[in-house]
Structure 1
Amino acid sequence: MKTPEKIDAREIRHKLGLNQQQFWSKLGVTQSGGSRYESGRNMPRPVQQLLRLVHVEQIDIAKVRKEDFEVVEFLKASNPDLFKDLKKQARAYRKAA
């Protein structure tokens, strides 16, 4: 079984220049809860994944909808070549912006 990578929330927060309130509120975590995670308390896997999506991948989770995932999964399954091509184009578009 794959062991989850250790996420250093404090380091990520410092690199982003955010205080605890700003950083943790984007994940729906209280400042005090985030402080405990930064002090070494075990961070639940869902919180780790949200942290990665929001602060590392820079995804605005307020804009993510279930329908979007359904379309992506359908496209992956029904036309994987088109999915790969669109993914490549999206990365290029993001880099150019």
Structure 2
Amino acid sequence: MKSTEKKIDVREIRRKLGLNQSQFWSQIGVTQSGGSRYESGRNIPRPVQALLRLVHIEQVDISKVKREDLEVSEYLKKSDPEMFKTLKKEARAARKQVKK
């Protein structure tokens, strides 16, 4: 992890959600023992960090994400980064409105 990146406290996120290690980590395909190692300070790989953010912070139901969604997202991100950022902000705002 780069020194400029903020290290997240996954144990604290899990506790705030009221989940045990098995419940929390199984939602993103990580074993309880693997999750325990991450909570104890082992570096978390970027793909696992991304899944943590999507599932436990952004509250995305990854069972509903389709391969085409990922392909479109990657295409937009590479071909038009500004549009990607704008759409991402709009989606986040819409999600917040739904939660109210």
Superposition TM-score tier, normalisation by shorter sequence: 0.7 to 0.9
Contact 1:21–1:30 (Cα < 8 Å) also in 2: yes
Q: In the aligned structure 1, how far is the partner of 2:91 from the partner of 2:41?
A: 40
Q: Which has the higher contact order (CA 8 A, sep 6+)?
A: 1
How many pairs does the alignment contain? 94
Give the alignment of 1:11-22 within 5 angstroms.
11-22=12-23
Q: In the aligned structure 2, how far is the partner of 1:71 from the partner of 1:9?
A: 29
Larger radius of gyration: 1
- Give the 3-state SS of the residue equivalent to 1:32 in structure 2: helix
- Return 5+ residue gaps in structure 2 as ranges: none
Q: In the aligned structure 2, how far is the partner of 1:37 from the partner of 1:90?
A: 27
How far off is 1:68 after superposition? 2.0
Q: Does 1:95 align with 2:77?
A: no
Q: CA RMSD in A?
A: 3.0
Residue of structure 1 equivalent to 2:35: 34
- Return 5+ residue gaps in structure 1 as ranges: none
Over the matched positions of the two proteins, sequence identity in percent amounts to 62
Q: In the aligned structure 2, how far is the partner of 1:93 from the partner of 1:36?
A: 32
Aligned residue identity for 1:19: N
Q: In the aligned structure 2, how far is the partner of 1:34 from the partner of 1:89?
A: 29
